[in-house]
Amino acid sequence: MSSQLNVKMKFPSSGCFKVVPLNCEGSFKALWASVRHSNAPSMDIFVEVSTSQIVTPTPTIPLRLDDVAQFVSLQANDINEGEFDGNLEGDEFDEEFATLDENLIVIEEDGDDDLVFASAPIVEFNKVDPLDEDELNSWKTWESMVRYEKGKEFAVGQVFTNKASISDEVTFYSVQANQFFKVAESKPDTVTYKCGRSPSPCNWRLRATRKDPYSQAFTIVTYKGPHDSSCVGDMVPRDHFNLKRAFISHLIRNYVEGDWGYKVMSVVEVILDKFGYKISYAKAWNAKQRAIGDIFGDWDASYEMLPRFMQGLKESNPGTVVQWSTTPIGNSNVHTFKRVFWAFKPCIEGFEHCRPVLTIDGTHLYGKFKGTILTAMSIDANNQIFPVAFAIVESENNESWSWFMACIRLFVTKRSGLCVISDRHAGIMNAMSEVGSGWEEPHAFHRICIRHLASNVNTRYKNVKVKNMFGSTAMQFQEKKFDIGFARLGEMDRDAQHYVADVGIEKWSICHDGGHRYGILTTNLAEAFNNVLKGARFLPITALVQCIFFRVNAYFVERREEARKRLLQGQHYSSKITHLLEENCKKGAYHKVVSFDHVGGLYQVTTRRGSRNVSRGSHLHTVDLSKRTCTCNKFQTYKYPCSHVYAVCKKMKLNASQFVEISYTTGEHLASYASKFHPLKDEAYWGHYNGPRIVCDEGKRRGKGSMEYRLQPGPVNPEVLTQQETHRSKAIWDGDDKGSLRCRSHLAMHKGFLVSDRVVDFIRESQFYFIHRVVGLKFNVDFITALVERWRPETHTFHLTVGEATVTLQDVQVLLGLRIRGDVVTGTSACNWRALIYELLGRTPGEEDLKGASLRIGWLTEHFSGLPEQANEQVLHQYVRAYLLILMATVMFPDKSGNDIQVVYLPLLRDLDAIDDFSWGSAVLATLYRNLCRSSNMKARDIGGPLILLQLWAWERITIARPIVTGPENPPLIQGPYPLGSQHQLRVDSLGRRWLSVHRRRPQGTTITTLLGYRDALDNMRPDQFVWQPYPQAIFSFLPEACYNDLGEWCVVSPMICFDIVEWHLPNRVARQFGWKQNIPEPADTEPKLHKMDKRGAHSRNWAEYHSAYLAMWFRRYQFRFIGVEDNSGMGYNDPYMVWYRDRTRRFISPTFQQAYQAPLGATAYLAHGFAEVHRTCNTEIQAMPQEVPPHYRNIMSNIRDNTSQSLEHVGYSHLLQQFHQPTQETQVEEQHEERGDGSTMQESTAEDDETLQVFRRRSRRTNTSMSPINEQGNPEPSKAKKIWSRLRGKKKT
């Protein structure tokens, strides 16, 4: 028996032990690496005795790193330094071990190796029982509590952290199970809950106590649950009694903590998504304010805390200015807060190194208290915002602005010649003109924000062109260009010219400014900083000031480091100014300079075209270096050399930097941020505050979710919806609702028109056969109008509450079977149309039938209905062309003329074998886009185009009031149900065929039948009511190949062309319709100018040549296919795209006060209709009651009727009762009987009478027609209901 000794190293790794034989150079390298590695664990070195039968390891020798280092050092000298440097870490360390895989022996912790355990006397000696973790931790009595699992049943002994915790869990349990609870007892150490269902609560009960006086934990001591089976939860349509604001605030705390501006409607959505209850806006608003108070401190206490915080701020940052304006309450030491002004010491010192410009602005505070924050901003050497001073005031008024500006003058700066840029708020205008304030000229110069003034011009005169002309004129640097623009403004609108002139030309014109505003045109600096504070404006007042302090400090640290780096790099000017100077220097290289007075610095500069050929060149400018002027006026405005000055300096070998104002230098940039903020001390180390106690102004407290702070319709950010001012949604919101659009479909032209079987057979193999198969679809005009109100020409999408959606090329091909691939549908308008019609149709229309290129559809239906039996091939082709024109006129390209078709399409039908070579699908979609864009304007009254496509798209994707498709009577031989309706033929029809009116019906319970109903339903659309992918792969097996063979074309970003129409297809904005993740899309340019283009006045235009650039794009469309990332996980409310989208969309069409009722969806609708039936029955019975019926019977029926009426009005379904406001014919007939005194004999009530009464009630529920027929004499017969009541009355008397 042979033996062998092996030296090995063992160390733990990932739940097992790695054993490495120390028998080669590589193993010693690994050992040395483990010794030097910072994270190497302790390891064992052992000697193993190997025999042919058994392996017996000797006792291991545990060695720490130091011992191993000594052991390995014997071999370290033999390691080649070129191969190993003794310091392996990271990947290198892992790689060293990776080379030893063949030598590693892995011994699993739970292994069962017979060789290892063979020496035990009996097998039982090798058994090791697992350790009992509970027994090991039994001494930790504080961890032995039974914790409650959220949403499950409670149990005795379960422990909760505190009293609030058990309250939240009981609420969560009850709301989730649609149960109610009441607090039966609440004491500091005890709380009891019981079933709260009324009027018959069950025995459910929970009692918890605080057993340990030194702990806040509550333990359940009694629990009777769950609720009885008879305690069935009611359908609560909106709110839940136990959904209190405290519980909701705890639930949304994380959301609010991550986003201070978390929308109130987001709170509503969170509760709706989690529990299925739609809480009121007021409750959500209050819950959010409570959550903010829990995180940042109580709202009321924050006002008391503010003076102490300001004192601590001044102690940590000496030189910081704080000024108060309060109102004392009586003779007490309590003051009501009015205003506070503050300016940080670093801001005060840094402003001295900025340009002498201030932009001031105010913005509202949100939260529980009203108020306004005023800001004063300057601009640093790098053209970036520099914060100067802040104030929180009651509102923007004369007094608050005067006080704010006085504080700046007294405590921040006394610099003369300051330029203040603002809007034209009356308070600012008065403060700047106040004598002795230090803000009047020449101490300061007031200038107006050009953007605000342009907006005022547009608001006053309602003319965007006038507004643009004013803006262009105001930004002219040269007086001659200003004079031209100002004159044009007067030509466009003399009143607008006088209006801006009265403001003061020097206040808004750059060339008349005198260089005071340094080229700063707007108050965007102050407004940009207000956006930085956007989230902070939701916070309590002390938290708001704290946020401003820390954000300004962070801003200073970042800018200081940036300036310091540029100074160390030897950069003389800031980065942005350096770029501007370099651009001017490049332009100046192309100018020609002529010297007139070298000593006096007078030169003439002739401009030339630069490398980009931007300007025309050959302009003359005079540069006077001694006066630092140039006739271009940019030198005086910006205070640094223009391109003309650079040209002079280059010519005369002068240093241009001497003409750059010092405020642009890197040294001044660094000096602006050199002063540092100091950390605040802990509150315990703040000095004692001796001032008055400041409390909030109760008059500024906002109401609980008041209407003034409900969500506005949008958009919040107008960068996407730039045409909102002319959109029909604005007119509707403003109360100018014109009702439903008139749909110009021409489908009536098909009535009586006969299509020969030979004509149908001829087009059967073409794409027009699918159009032929969907003729006859009826439109829902109100639904189409509601969709048009959400169509946006700026993006070519419908802006729904769930995101953007649109009709794509995919929808066109799947629903209508029209091809996407092919030539563009275009041609010329110059043609002898009468001769062409005779050539291709074999007939000549009359003068009244053909006007220009418009052919009366009636002429086609009159002459081409049916086909002569003996018609030859030529006549057949003529009838085919005529029918295709009719399909185009009525389905594909209907216009708003009412009865005409444009014969420009006729040349494309010359060769009937080539009609499928055209992209009819893209032409149809372009026509639909064009009509949607035009009809979305507030002045539009009707709509044309392929509305059949829009209707089919809406039914496929929007489930609101979608008709139900019934199955076929004889389904094709396929496995499973046939899903495409009774009229759809397998692999013959396009998908749109299944929606024909002959086989669709309205779903039960649907009550949306008016424009207001559809409009309101879309305003309240849920995510599950829009189908993003209605065409699963399986459905293609039921369709012909022509409906999906161009799928490579569905996602092209390309213009679509149809003669004069050019519209952009933008699938990247609706990626979810293709199963892809929707990211924030790139800005869309649908070229609004194209929407105004049509055939009017272009009778001889060749549209193919006119749109040649767009045709080239169409033929290169494959280069611009949009390919997204597959994502079917759905999109949450807080997805980045949805957050971006909600700020840029028009969320609501109808204002709340104009909505007739809430969307009739779900259980509420069924209950409302049930109440309406009860009301109807009671109303009918009351009318049929004779006078002899006891009064209390009539009162009971009247009470039931009135209660149902009130209930329906309360939930917004009073429209169901409108039909009862007018007396029915039956009521009028009965009244006539009462007047004549007609009656019936009293008989006993029989089963037949009861059955007749039931029939009467059923009929009265179905119709309002008269139940009293007219007899042969022309007089109404007695009401059968009246006869029955008479019989019942007689029976009771008997």
pLDDT of the residue at 1183: 76
Q: In this prediction, what percent of the chain has a pLDDT beyond 90?
A: 37
Q: Which of 1045, 766, 756, 754 has its CA nearest to residue 909?
A: 766
pLDDT of the residue at 1160: 35
Question: 177 falls in which pLDDT band (50, 70, 90)?
Answer: confident
Q: What is the pLDDT of the chain when averaged over all its residues? A: 79
Question: 827 falls in which pLDDT band (50, 70, 90)?
Answer: very high
List all residues 6 or more positions away from 434 whose beta carbon is below 8 Å from its beta carbon.
402, 440
Q: Mean per-residue pLDDT for 621-646?
A: 92
Confidence check: pLDDT of 636 > 80: yes
Distance of alpha carbon 1275 from alpha carbon 1266, whole angstroms: 14
Q: Mean per-residue pLDDT for 1148-1172?
A: 56
Confidence check: pLDDT of 1013 > 70: yes
Confidence check: pLDDT of 1222 > 60: no
Q: Mean per-residue pLDDT for 720-742?
A: 87
Most confident of 249-253, 597-601, 809-813: 809-813
Confidence check: pLDDT of 905 > 60: yes
pLDDT of the residue at 1192: 73
Burial of 709 (0-12, 13-18, 19+ CB in 10 A): middle
Q: Of the given ranges (539-543, 571-575, 713-717), which has the lowest mean pLDDT?
A: 713-717
**Each residue's pLDDT tens digit, 546-576:** 999 999 999 999 999 999 999 999 899 988 9
List all residues 6 or more positions away from 1180 whose beta carbon is below 8 Å from its beta carbon.
1257, 1260, 1281
pLDDT of the residue at 11: 53
**Each residue's pLDDT tens digit, 1044-1076:** 999 889 999 999 999 999 999 999 999 999 999
Strands 321-328 and 334-343: antiparallel
pLDDT of the residue at 978: 53
Query: What are 521's two structure tokens?
Result: 């045109």
pLDDT of the residue at 47: 58
pLDDT of the residue at 124: 52
Confidence check: pLDDT of 910 > 60: yes
Confidence check: pLDDT of 121 > 70: no
Distance of alpha carbon 439 from alpha carbon 403, whole angstroms: 12
Confidence check: pLDDT of 143 > 90: no
Q: What's the whole-model pTM score?
A: 0.51
pLDDT of the residue at 1256: 38
pLDDT of the residue at 61: 43
**Each residue's pLDDT tens digit, 465-514:** 999 999 999 999 999 999 999 999 999 999 999 999 999 999 999 999 88
pLDDT of the residue at 233: 54
Q: Which of 933, 1012, 496 has its CA nearest to residue 726?
A: 933
Distance of alpha carbon 702 from alpha carbon 473, whole angstroms: 43
b/e code 864-901 from CB counts within 10 Å (16+ = b): bbebeeebeeeebbbbbbbbbbbbbbbbbbbbbeebbb
Distance of alpha carbon 557 from alpha carbon 821, whole angstroms: 58
**Each residue's pLDDT tens digit, 652-699:** 889 989 999 999 999 999 999 999 999 998 888 888 888 899 999 888
Distance of alpha carbon 106 from alpha carbon 65, whole angstroms: 22
Query: What are 1088's two structure tokens?
Result: 């609004």
Most confident of 26-40, 1210-1224, 1263-1277: 26-40
Contact 208, 219 (CB under 8 A): yes
DSSP 8-class letter at 470: H
Q: Which of 696, 693, 699, 688 has its CA nearest to residue 540?
A: 696
Higher-pLDDT residue of 705 and 1217 is: 1217
pLDDT of the residue at 77: 43
DSSP bridge partners of 418: 444
List all residues 6 or more positions away from 646 whose beta carbon is below 8 Å from its beta carbon.
584, 585, 587, 588, 589, 656
Q: Name the strands in the sheet holding 900-902, side by side, starting at the edge strand that comes first in the sequence.
A: 850-851, 854-856, 900-902
Distance of alpha carbon 572 from alpha carbon 737, whole angstroms: 62
Q: Which of 265, 241, 235, 273 has its CA nearest to residue 1162?
A: 235
Q: Which of 754, 761, 749, 751 has its CA nearest to residue 867?
A: 754
pLDDT of the residue at 1049: 92
Higher-pLDDT residue of 234 and 435 is: 435
Confidence check: pLDDT of 581 > 80: yes
pLDDT of the residue at 1135: 85
Residue 1228 phi/psi, 5-degree rounding, is: -65, -40
List all residues 6 or more positions away from 330 whose beta carbon is below 8 Å from its beta carbon.
none
Question: 614 falls in which pLDDT band (50, 70, 90)?
Answer: very low
Confidence check: pLDDT of 709 > 50: no
**Each residue's pLDDT tens digit, 497-511:** 999 999 999 999 999
pLDDT of the residue at 1210: 64
Q: Which of 465, 469, 525, 527 has its CA nearest to residue 500?
A: 469
Distance of alpha carbon 1023 from alpha carbon 1226, whole angstroms: 46
Distance of alpha carbon 268 from alpha carbon 247, whole angstroms: 13
Distance of alpha carbon 392 from alpha carbon 374, whole angstroms: 6
Contact 1, 53 (CB under 8 A): yes
**Each residue's pLDDT tens digit, 259-270:** 888 888 889 888
Q: Which of 674, 677, 673 has its CA nearest to residue 546?
A: 677
Confidence check: pLDDT of 809 > 90: yes
Looking at beta carbons, which pairs linking 1175-1180 to residues 24 or more positions away fall under 8 Å? Answer: 1175/1201, 1175/1204, 1175/1205, 1175/1208, 1175/1217, 1175/1220, 1176/1220, 1176/1260, 1176/1261, 1177/1257, 1177/1260, 1177/1261, 1178/1204, 1179/1220, 1180/1257, 1180/1260, 1180/1281
pLDDT of the residue at 330: 76
Contact 1076, 1124 (CB under 8 A): yes
Most confident of 116-120, 383-387, 995-999: 383-387
Reduce the DSSP state of residue 733 to 3 states and report it: helix
Confidence check: pLDDT of 808 > 60: yes
Query: What are 1251's two structure tokens?
Result: 């059955």
Query: What are 1227's two structure tokens?
Result: 């009521």
Confidence check: pLDDT of 120 > 80: no
Reduce the DSSP state of residue 273 to 3 states and report it: helix
**Each residue's pLDDT tens digit, 19-66:** 667 666 666 666 665 555 444 445 566 656 555 444 444 444 444 444
Higher-pLDDT residue of 1067 and 75 is: 1067
Reduce the DSSP state of residue 1238 to 3 states and report it: coil
Q: Which helix (H) or strand (E) holds 207?
A: strand 205-209
Q: Mean per-residue pLDDT for 222-237?
A: 73
DSSP 8-class letter at 82: T
For every residue of 1087-1120, DSSP letters joined together read -GGGGG--STT-TT-BHHHHTHHHHHHHHTGGGG
- No. of helices (H) and no. of strands (E), the chain: 44, 36
Q: Of the given ranges (167-181, 570-584, 794-808, 974-988), which has the lowest mean pLDDT?
A: 974-988
Confidence check: pLDDT of 736 > 90: no
Reduce the DSSP state of residue 566 to 3 states and report it: helix
Q: Find how far residue 1167's CA is from the centre of its chain.
A: 33
Cβ–Cβ contacts within 10 Å for residue 147, how many?
10
Most confident of 85-94, 802-811, 1096-1105: 802-811
pLDDT of the residue at 953: 94
Query: What are 934's two structure tokens?
Result: 């035009």
Q: How many CA atoms lie within 13 A of 499 on its CB side?
A: 17
373: left (phi over 0), alpha (psi -120 to 50) or beta: beta
Torsion of CA 40, 43, 47, 49, to 10 degrees: -100
Distance of alpha carbon 526 from alpha carbon 426, whole angstroms: 18
Distance of alpha carbon 108 from alpha carbon 15, whole angstroms: 8
